[in-house]
Amino acid sequence: MIQVEPYAESIQDIIMRAPQTLGVTIFPEDLTKEIYAQLAQRFQSLPNRLCLTALLASDDAGSHQYAEWTRETCHNIGIDFCLVRLTPRNVATYIKALNENSFVHGIMVYYPIFGDARDDEIKSTVDPRKDVEGLNRAHSPHSHGVIEDSARPRLVPTLVPCTAKAVESILIWLGIYDRSLAEGERLNGWDICIINRSDVVGLPLAQLLASQGARVYSVDIIGVQIYQASLTSGVAEVRSTPTEWTLQDVVKKSGVIISAVPHRTFKVNTKWIQRGTICINVASAKNFDTEILEVASKFVPRVGNLTIAALLDNLLQCTKVLPS
């Protein structure tokens, strides 16, 4: 089993030693309202209305519901939202046309379409300058790429996939980030367990939190990996290290547990969770039992519409690199 040197005295250690108020359920709706109000002001200050175009090529009920939520939110904030329904075989062709359409500022696609590697190919088709979901591999979590156009090189914004960005917003809201510290150090001393290492949520979230100084235990069916930032030639770089640890091992170590497993039968064993831990349920399924309130200091049962708020924040970032 891999051995990792523990932190000396950490914020997490201090918090876990202190008396805890347990069983506090935190709902993200208040945070969502606050963020939407800020976004509305920012969009209204722009010289022109923005257009977000979404492509729907499946009968997935969740995708249809998400589309309606997005439409309503865009209408309330002052964004033109265009939903295009089409067949799976036409998606890539339509994306290429939208990439060239100067009236379209952001492109999103509701997945799954095919449910296999073809979906990854479609993600890479979206112009990174319009990829409000942050799913194109051109978006690196720690660097900017350069997009060439006929006018001049333009930097691609570092966009975080929407659900991962929403979880980050929740952690900031809960006070996990120490804003008195420098960027890259704001999660120093925290051990965080993320269950499900998907490309859309778990992996980018692990990289994001590790880049702020956390030691992240990323759990998937193939095992546990540790994500940590280290200096290489003076530049911070997040690296992953495989371990022989189990889910139980890392849940016991963690002060924050984030679970995103989309299976209704999966539950994090409450007996493994240390008293005072912060637990966040990201999946549509309930990954924590009701007994979680007996050990967790704070429990967030859902991310909710924060994903749409993150999407619209990414849309604003995209406008910084599109031709005016």
Is-catalytic flag, 51? no
Alpha carbon 190 to chain centroid distance? 18
H or E element, residue 55: strand 51-56
CA dihedral 71, 171, 224, 307 (to 10 degrees): 0
Rounded to 10°, the helix 29-44/306-319 angle is 20
Q: Which of 74, 162, 279, 318 is catalytic?
A: 162
Q: Which two tokens stand for residue 161?
A: 């996939």
Task: Give 3-state DSSP helix, strand, coil % of the chain, rounded to 5.
Answer: 35, 20, 45
Rounded to whole angstroms, how far apart are CA atoms 123 and 105? 17
Rounded to whole angstroms, how far apart are CA atoms 186 and 179? 6
Catalytic residue set: 162
